[in-house]
Structure 1
Amino acid sequence: MEQQQKQEQQMATEVETATPTAHTAELQEQLEHCFENLIVIDVGANLTNKKYSRDLDSVVQRARDAGVQKLMVHGTSVKSSKEALRLSRIYPDIIYSTAGIHPHDSKSIVEEPSTWFDFEHIAIAQECVAVGPCGLDYQRDFSEPDVQKQIFAKQLQLAIRLKKPLLIHERSAQTDLLEILDKFENLPPVIIRGFMGTAEEALKYLDRRFYISLTGYLCKDKSDTGVRRLLENGTLPLDRLLVESDAPFMYPNTRASKLPQHVKTGITERSLLYLHRYCTFQRNEPCSLPAIVEMIAAFMKKSPDEVALATAFNALKLFGLS
C-alpha cells in the first residue's frame, strides 16, 4: 500500500509538470496500467477565463490524463465566444466552442447593436457546436429583465436557424423562461446547464424533453428538494443527463460535511488525486469531472462507468462531437 501511494504521488508530479509536447508514452502506459480511467466529456468549462492564461496547455493535458476526452468551452459574450472559437482551433478534436450572450451581458448587445453581426459570424463556425449559454437570470441585475428577454429571443431564433443545440442559463426565472421557449416552434435540443433548482422545477424541464447538466454544486446542495433528490429518487434519467466542471467555478468540495458518507467513499483515490492536487475553491479545473461523475453515480446508486458512458454518449449525440 505504501509503495502504491508513493507511485501515485510520483505519477501525479509527472502529470503536473507535463505538457502536450513533453508528455511521454511511458507515463501514459503507467497511468493506464495502474488506474482505470472513466471516459467523460465536459460540456461546460470556462477556459477563456484569465485564471488559465499562464498554464492552459497543462490544464488541458491534465484533463485528458484524468479521462476527460473532450471539452466544450463556453462563450458568454461576443469577446469570450470569439476566444472560445480560437481555442477550439488551437486544440482541435479536444476543445469545441459555444457562442452565447449570457443574461448578465445582454445589455452589451443593446448598447452596441453592431456586435450582434460579429456574434452571428462566430456562431456559424463549424467548431462552434451550440448557441449559449443564454437565458434569464433574475438573481442579479446586471441587465434589465426586458433586455435579457430580448437578447434571449434573438439567440433562440439564431439556434433554430443554425439548427444548433441551445445551452440555457436560468436563475429564479423559470416561469418567464418557459413562457418564451413555448412561443418558439422547431426548437433544437435544449440543455439546462449547471442546474441548481428544485426537483419540481426540473420536472418542468424534463416534461419538455430538455436535458439537464450537473456540476460540483452537488456538494453545496443541502436541501431536501433539490439536485440530490433528483438523483436519489430517479427523477433525472440517464438519457437526459450531462456533466460539466464549470471550471474555474463550482469546485466540488468532497470534504463537505453534509455530503453523505456513501458518496464520499464512492470517489476513487485517482479522482481525488487530481481534484486535491490541481483544483481549489479559487480555481477549479476540468480534471475534477471524474470525481463529479462518481458522486452522481453514488447518489443514483449506479456504477460510475454507467454514468460516464451515458453522459458521454449524450454529449456526442447532442453536439455532434467527433
Structure 2
Amino acid sequence: MGDDKRELPPIPDRLPVSVVDAHTHLDACGAVTAADVSAMVDRAERAGVSRVVTVADDLAAARWAAEASTWDRRVFAAVAIHPTRTKEFGDAEKSEVERLARQDRVVAVGETGLDYYWDYSPHDAQQDAFRWHIDLAKRVGKPLMIHDREAHEDVLRILDEEGAPDDVVFHCFSGDEHIARRCVDAGYVLSFAGTVTFRNARGLHEAARIVPPGQYLAETDAPFLTPHPFRGRPNEPFCTAYTVRHLAGLRGEAVHEVADAVRTTAERVFRLPSVTSC
C-alpha cells in the first residue's frame, strides 16, 4: 500500500475531446529537462490533455516556466510571484516578472492573489503585490490567474477597486455556490482542480453545477491535489481527464460537452493557437 502512494495513478482512457490543463507546475512534478517536459505532456496527451499551462510561484520558477514553454509546442507558461512569497517584492523582482510576462508563450500573469491560510507574508504586502500584478496583466494584455485561499472577500474587493483585466481566472476555485455566483456575475472564469472530486467538498460541488459554459476550466495544480480516488498520490497533467469526467457527472452533462467547454474556454482566455499550429 505504501508503494502505491508513491506511484502515479493509471493514465485514464482518452477523453472524447482534447482539453487543456489550465494550471500545473511541471517543475514541481519533477521536470528538469526538455525531455522530461515532453514525456509528461506525452502522458497527458494519451489521456486527451493536449496542452498545459505551467505556472510559476517565484522568480526561479518563472524563468524556468518561460523557458520550458519554448521546448514543446504543447506547453505554455504563466508567471508571477505567489502571494506567500511577497514579503520582499521590490523593483528588481517586478522588472523581471514584467520582462517574462511579455514573452509570446507566456499566456497569463499568475499565480497572484491572496493567501490567508499560510502566515508567510503580511496581508498588506500580499495586497500591494496583488494590485501590482492586476496592473501588469492589464498593461501586457494577458489574463490574470488568481490564487485565493481563505481570502475571498478581499480578493473580490481589490479586483473591484483596481478594475479587473478583461480575463480573470480563479485557479483551483475554492469557494461555495454563493462566491461562484458573484464571480460568474462579474464575468470571471473558475478553474476546477482535483478538489472538486473530493467527497466532502459539497460547497464546491454546488459551485461547479451552476457555472455556465464559457466560464469554467479544469486543471491539476500538479503535483498537488490529485483527484479522487487517487488522493495522496502524485499528480500530473494527465489527471485533468479524471476531473473533467467528474465535472460532467456533477453537472449531469455528457463528457464530450464538458471537455469541449473546457477546451474552448481555455483557447479563448489564454489566446491559444489551434492544436495543429501551436
* TM-score between both structures, scaled by the size of structure 1: 0.76
**Structure possessing the higher relative contact order (Cα contacts under 8 Å, 6 or more residues apart):** 2
In structure 2, the residue matched to 1:262 is: none
Q: Deviations over 1:163-221 (max 9, x none)?
A: 11010111111121122111123622111110122111112211211110001102325
The reply on whether 1:313 has 2:264 as its aligned counterpart is yes
Mapped pair 1:163 → 2:141: yes
Partner Cα distance (2:132, 2:226) in 1: 32
From the superposition, tell whether residues 315 and 179 of structure 1 become closer, same or farther in structure 2 (CA, over 3 Å): same
Higher helix share: 1
Give how far 1:38 is off.
3.4
1:74 to 2:55 alignment: yes
% identity of equivalent residues: 28
For 2:229, the equivalent position in structure 1 comes to 254
Where in structure 1 are there 5+ consecutive unaligned residues?
1-14, 17-33, 256-279
Please say if 1:45 is aligned against 2:24: yes
Contact 2:79/2:106 (CA < 8 Å) preserved in 1? Answer: yes
Contact 1:37 1:66 (C-alpha < 8 Å) held by counterparts = no
Q: Choose which of 40, 60, 65 in structure 1 pairs with 2:41.
A: 60
CA distance in 2, matches of 1:90, 1:250: 26
List aligned pairs for 1:211-290, cutoff 5 A.
211-224=189-202, 226-231=203-208, 234-254=209-229, 281-290=232-241
Q: CA deviation at 1:282?
A: 4.1
**How many matched pairs?**
262
User: Which one of 73, 77, 82 corresponds to residue 97 of structure 1?
Assistant: 77
Which protein is bigger by CA-based radius of gyration? Answer: 1
Specify the SS of the correspondent of 2:234: coil
| 1:98-149 superposed Cα distances (whole Å, 9 cap, x missing partner) | 1111111112314xx3122111100111111111110001011111100000
Residues 294, 170 of structure 1: alpha-carbon distance in 2 compared, 3 angstrom cutoff: same
Q: Verify the 8 A CA contact 1:38 1:290 in the aligned structure 2.
A: no
- Which deviates more from structure 2 when the two are superposed, residues 80-89 or residues 193-202? 193-202
Q: CA RMSD in A?
A: 2.1
CA contact (8 A) 2:215 2:265 kept: yes
Distance of 1:36 and 1:84 partners within structure 2? 26
- 5 Å matches for 1:186-225? 187-224=165-202
Q: 3-state SS of the aligned residue for 1:252? A: coil
Partner of 1:146: 124
Give the letter aligned to residue 149 of structure 1.
Q
**Distance in 2 between residues matched to 1:35 and 1:290, nearest whole Å:** 8
What is residue 115 of structure 1 aligned with on the other side?
Answer: 93
Task: Measure the CA separation in 2 of the matches of 1:109 and 1:152.
Answer: 11
Which of 32, 56, 67 is residue 86 of structure 1 equivalent to?
67
Change (3 A) 1:170 1:188: same
CA contact (8 A) 1:51 1:283 kept: no
Deviation per CA, 1:66-97: give whole Å up to 9, x if none. Answer: 111111011111111111011100112x0000
- Structure 2 gaps, min length 5: 1-9, 274-278
**Mapped contact 1:38–1:305 kept (Cα < 8 A):** yes
Please tell me whether the aligned partners of residues 45 and 246 of structure 1 are also in contact (alpha carbons under 8 angstroms).
yes
Aligned equivalent of 1:28 = none
2 CA distance for matches of 1:128 and 1:51?
21
Change in Cα spacing, 1:67 to 1:50, as seen in structure 2 (3 Å) is closer
Q: Is the 8 A contact 1:72 1:95 kept in 2?
A: yes
Residue in 2 that maps onto 1:302:
253
Q: 1:72 to 1:223 in 2, by over 3 A?
A: closer
